[in-house]
Structure 1
Amino acid sequence: MTQHNRYLNRRNALKLGGTTLMAAALQGFWPQPTPAIAATTQPSPETVLELLTTGNERFVAHHAQHPHTSIERMAELATGQHPIVTILSCADSRVPAELLFDLGLGDVFNVRVAGNIVTPEVLASIEYAVELLETPVLMILGHERCGAVTAAVQGQTVPGHIGDFIDEILPAVAQVKDQPGDAIDNAVRANVDRQIQVLLQQSDLIRKRKANGQVRVVGSRYDLDSGRVDLLA
């Protein structure tokens, strides 16, 4: 067996049922009035972003519908997954992606780490989701009053290995240190942008899929006070 064939076999195995599961997962995917997605069609990045936006609007309005939490959904996912979005977010307990976007089981490939930073392990996890599970959207989600960013801005001395993730945020802090406004929120936004750049610089896989229009990479910020998630320019 050639190396190329071994790669293809491994890729197909990791997709965990791919096309068949995707069709089942997308059938009647979203509660009305959101338009249904054709069962045999991979949702476009634009469609996914619309679904995320409307889901967050329901969350903000306290009208969440909590889709994909049934026992039938659990059975459907028992043999595989095909999430529609990969989200790199902070490990902060106040930022659970499924709740913020009114999503359910199997909808989000979550990668969570303090400060939503890109480490080698984080990058590998994201590449797995984007390349092998073919998620159409990759979102880096920062949030208001992030403790990791706050520690970096204030130059806090911290015990143990906590300083490891602070070091990864410091370049973003330096980038906006002379900007007017709230220093921590400026750094939160700059850190989201920096982590996107790190992803694109370090991953050939993500760059190629982005260039081919197969994945859209977006930055966002979650407001702890309002519950709203805003896309960042």
Structure 2
Amino acid sequence: MLAANHSYYTVENLSAEAALQELLDGNQRYALDHVEHPHEGSQRRVDLSVAQHPFAIILGCADSRVVPELIFDQGVGDLFVLRVAGNVADEAVLASIEFAVEHLGTRLVVVLGHERCGAVMAAINHAFSEGKLNSLISYIEPAIKAGREANGDCVVSDTVKAHVHLMVKQIQSTEPILSHEVKNSSLKVVPAYYRLATGKVEFL
């Protein structure tokens, strides 16, 4: 865990392992209702006006109950957050991850699914309208089969976890930048699952 004053740090001195530990520590504070709300003052804004150094990339769902900065008890500039329904790693998301890895030097990516995900439930029930929501189906459908195989039925939690794992694999295999960084052990991509009521994140 970082020092109590949460002094400004950069990715140069925070490895993927250290970044993951900081997320674990922050989530424990959040789940226990001992949040510290770091890096929210005026001096932090001044520091970040020159450059940003987020220590982790979080690909999460757009669900209003799943806010990474709160869940991990982090402040301004700590996390590079991408939020889209169903935590889908589409082309725009992958490009954004590439940007954070290549230009900001971030070494950790967390794909954060959550229980009772509306996008996953809609995909399972084929409850899509004629609008753009249909574009999510192609990303989530492979996880539906995996969810059925995991538990003999299409249980939402199993499907969410299967989908998270598939998105992790997609990020890891994206050429040329991300796959190269993963193969060189310069980038760590990890799956995670958030429980709404307890506030706890389970790294899968």
TM-score after normalising by structure 2: 0.92
Q: Residue 178 of structure 2 aligns with which residue?
A: 206
Q: 2:149 aligns with which of 178, 199, 202?
A: 178
* Equivalent runs, 1:73-92 vs 2, <5 Å: 73-92=44-63
What is the identity percentage for the equivalent residue pairs of Structure 1 and Structure 2? 37
Deviations 1:171-215 (A, max 9, x none): 111222233277100000000011111122223211221222222
Q: 1:152 aligns with which of 114, 117, 123?
A: 123
Q: 1:166 aligns with which of 123, 126, 137?
A: 137
1:130 aligns with 2:66: no
- Distance in 1, matches of 2:8 and 2:199, equals 26
2:163 is aligned with what amino acid?
Answer: N
In 2 relative to 1, CA 182–228 (structure 1 residues): closer, same or farther, beyond 3 Å? farther
1:63 aligns with 2:34: yes
In 2 relative to 1, CA 57–33 (structure 1 residues): closer, same or farther, beyond 3 Å? farther
| SS of the residue 1:79 aligns to | coil
2:45 is aligned with what amino acid?
Answer: M
Deviations 1:93-137 (A, max 9, x none): 111111000000000001111111111111100100012111121
How far did 1:40 drift?
9.2
1:189 is aligned with what amino acid?
Answer: K
1:142 is aligned with what amino acid?
Answer: G
Q: 2:160 aligns with which of 185, 188, 201?
A: 188
- Distance in 2, matches of 1:81 and 1:206, equals 20
| SS of the residue 1:109 aligns to | strand
TM-score after normalising by structure 1: 0.81
Query: RMSD in angstroms over aligned alpha carbons?
Result: 2.2
Do the aligned residues in 1 keep the contact of 2:10 with 2:54 (CA within 8 Å)? no
- Distance in 2, matches of 1:53 and 1:108, equals 14
| SS of the residue 2:135 aligns to | helix
For structure 1, the residue ranges without an aligned partner over 5 or more in a row are 1-28
